Structure 1
């Protein structure tokens, strides 16, 4: 991923947002994510009210896992296959299907006819384009911003998603669930999808991303072949997957850690998640200040610093100190995704972006349920403190892999389009 030509200086958030098309798409994405953040709170409540004879933990697990099944299959088909569907078309399909599905589920819920099988099937099919649509948002926004605006766009996507998914959305969702019902929140998510649909139709030209990408000689090449040729991207994909995978045991351990080690109640757990969300929001905002640093070394530093967070938590028994440590962890963790994607995209030709970015999005997303499934037995075997320490130590073991991925053999891969290495 090295180049012999000087790359243009990365633009700031403000400079990128002067492009009305980019700003329009990012605004639509922000409002859509608010609806998704509300669902994070409402879906477990809705599930518990209709789980019937199915054990509550199993019912919640099935509902949480349903959106990943078909969306993962489709995303892998796009990333590993040769068929190319324009990103704008995929994102529109995602918005339409999501809005129809959640509006339908909302109607069934508020009329008292929603059952657990109906909810699971609805989420299964309604989220078919979920992962592909997520990668398409990034592709379209970075394509419109250009090479010098890519870093800022990736940073803004992280900033807005953190703000919507972990701060505004859950708060609004909790208020609406408490004042009305969980079923009402389903309509808000449907509205969010419609808002994003309008933003795509208005702000994204039909030719964006496809104009140069489809003419590229690798436009119909599978993502697997691209990764075999671009070994830096392949190695870094492994790092991204396991970075997310090793984080998941923390989510399993955290409620037990707050209850037993910190001797706190549900409000303490809320404080911990609030601290992480606030830290992540500040970290996403600070990505703008990292734009002119060496992205390779920033990635390695993030991995090492985040790994210390669960290790520190394992030896803290005070709620205030634990919240501070978790908040600092969020501050460090937030820049990882925008920096990683910016580094990845800078070394891919236009005809390779969709396949590889879709694979990356899928890998990061699939790591979550897999990590949660294995996190439970890990915590049972090693205990709360042992599980936290193990999560941090395993993340530290990614450092040499990450260093090899981004610091060594930099001339082995082809550089960005039009540049000879």
Structure 2
């Protein structure tokens, strides 16, 4: 395992086709895709729902509150796992998340279609229903990579990113826009609950309770030695070092976490601005918002395909380049007032954005021992995702005060300032 650069050789990392031959990994990836489609519908539906029930609260503030709600309680739960020493089996966490999400979103859907959904009830439901969200996100990645051999890990991370891009920004928003137009945003809440149930079925079918993968030929002793031993649901789950303590021994990974945090933080005002930008500047509605997210996803699909071709490139330099190129996207978006032009800009943004998550996670996991995977990946996922509620909370007042166009420019300019910081932090050599 490389210790100095985190740069895999072109022969070390296997292609998407090789990864998908593993039936267990393919089954979990299918469930992940279906669940993310439901979440992608929510991206379109919740701003529309919020604008209907925000009352006296300014629209930008209300959207920021609703967007931030799913992250708050889930951050507390995930930090408890990442910073503590208790190891909850990833499979158990993922099942709990599916059940909780399905029940909560069904309840919110019933309240919405009967006209009883208030802003406070929506925020409370999102807060509770996503309590395991961050921990489960890390669990999906851990389970998928643990069922694969080490040379397949890069491809698994890339396919997880491809799932997210296709579902969250193409299939989900397009389907969500159609459902909102046909039946209202409340119907989409039921769709998200169904997505959670489909993921639950795939987990129960394809993810084993133990690390035995006899049917697929993976999970061998050699693979476990390489750092791909599967998490188990055994009662004696290890209580080892905290993720924070492990990261302190790997300064490059710790510095990269800081960079990822601020990259995500500076992106979040865009999510607050986008519904208002579509409604005001582009003079469109839910369908326009869905098309814009769909354009981002279409670009991200192309970017994900490039990830498969970039297996041998230096990952550190690639991450810094992505940050700089993405920063230009919101600046360019603020300069256009036509839906078609905005879709082109957002598609190019998706093309640039797509490789960031799979490359950063593959870089991180390549330097971890099996016992370190869950605490570090959970802490990493939480630390990077923590930027979301903070960025949304900050983005609401920013967009309210500056307007959508200026807010988009500010987001892009601040991200540009992150480039030299990222270069110094990530390119600096040091012990992982």
**What does residue 162 of structure 1 align with?**
165
1:373 pairs with 2:393: yes
Q: Note closer, same or farther for the CA distance 1:375–1:105 as it changes in structure 2 (3 Å cut).
A: closer
* 1:149-168 CA distance string (max 9 Å, x none): 11111111111111111111
1:349 pairs with 2:369: yes
Q: Note closer, same or farther for the CA distance 1:406–1:380 as it changes in structure 2 (3 Å cut).
A: same
CA distance in 2, matches of 1:225, 1:83: 14
1:308 pairs with 2:328: yes
Q: Note closer, same or farther for the CA distance 1:62–1:300 as it changes in structure 2 (3 Å cut).
A: closer
1:284 pairs with 2:285: no
Aligned length: 409
CA distance in 1, matches of 2:365, 2:342: 36
**What does residue 416 of structure 1 align with?**
none
- Match of residue 381, structure 2, among 355, 358, 361: 361
1:391 pairs with 2:411: yes
CA distance in 2, matches of 1:264, 1:111: 31
Q: Is the 8 A contact 2:98 2:200 kept in 1?
A: yes
Report how far residue 202 of structure 1 moved: 1.1
Q: Is the 8 A contact 1:96 1:194 kept in 2?
A: yes
**What does residue 179 of structure 1 align with?**
182
CA distance in 2, matches of 1:184, 1:249: 27
CA distance in 2, matches of 1:34, 1:323: 20
CA distance in 1, matches of 2:282, 2:333: 15
Q: Is the 8 A contact 1:300 1:403 kept in 2?
A: yes
CA distance in 2, matches of 1:383, 1:187: 33
**What does residue 248 of structure 1 align with?**
268
Q: Which runs of 5+ in 1 are unaligned?
A: 414-421
1:266 pairs with 2:284: yes
**What does residue 40 of structure 1 align with?**
43
**SS of 2:327 mapped into structure 1:** helix
Q: Note closer, same or farther for the CA distance 1:175–1:91 as it changes in structure 2 (3 Å cut).
A: same
**What does residue 2 of structure 1 align with?**
3
Q: Note closer, same or farther for the CA distance 1:109–1:220 as it changes in structure 2 (3 Å cut).
A: same
5 Å-filtered alignment, 1:8-407, equals: 9-51=12-54, 57-208=60-211, 209-210=230-231, 220-253=240-273, 264-266=282-284, 272-313=292-333, 321-378=341-398, 387-407=407-427
- Once structures 1 and 2 are overlaid, which stretch shifts more, 235-244 or 326-335? 326-335
Q: Which runs of 5+ in 2 are unaligned?
A: 212-229
- Once structures 1 and 2 are overlaid, which stretch shifts more, 283-292 or 106-115? 106-115
**SS of 1:266 mapped into structure 2:** coil
Q: Is the 8 A contact 1:213 1:219 kept in 2?
A: no
- Once structures 1 and 2 are overlaid, which stretch shifts more, 200-209 or 242-251? 242-251
Report how far residue 301 of structure 1 moved: 1.8
- Once structures 1 and 2 are overlaid, which stretch shifts more, 132-141 or 37-46? 37-46
- Once structures 1 and 2 are overlaid, which stretch shifts more, 160-169 or 109-118? 109-118
Q: Is the 8 A contact 2:74 2:134 kept in 1?
A: yes
Q: CA RMSD in A?
A: 3.2
Report how far residue 18 of structure 1 moved: 0.6
**SS of 1:153 mapped into structure 2:** helix
TM norm structure 1 = 0.86
TM norm structure 2 = 0.84
CA distance in 2, matches of 1:49, 1:357: 38
- Once structures 1 and 2 are overlaid, which stretch shifts more, 350-359 or 317-326? 317-326
CA distance in 2, matches of 1:107, 1:64: 20
Q: Note closer, same or farther for the CA distance 1:251–1:28 as it changes in structure 2 (3 Å cut).
A: closer
Q: Note closer, same or farther for the CA distance 1:229–1:364 as it changes in structure 2 (3 Å cut).
A: same
Q: Is the 8 A contact 1:213 1:350 kept in 2?
A: no
Q: Is the 8 A contact 1:219 1:352 kept in 2?
A: no
Q: Is the 8 A contact 2:169 2:295 kept in 1?
A: no
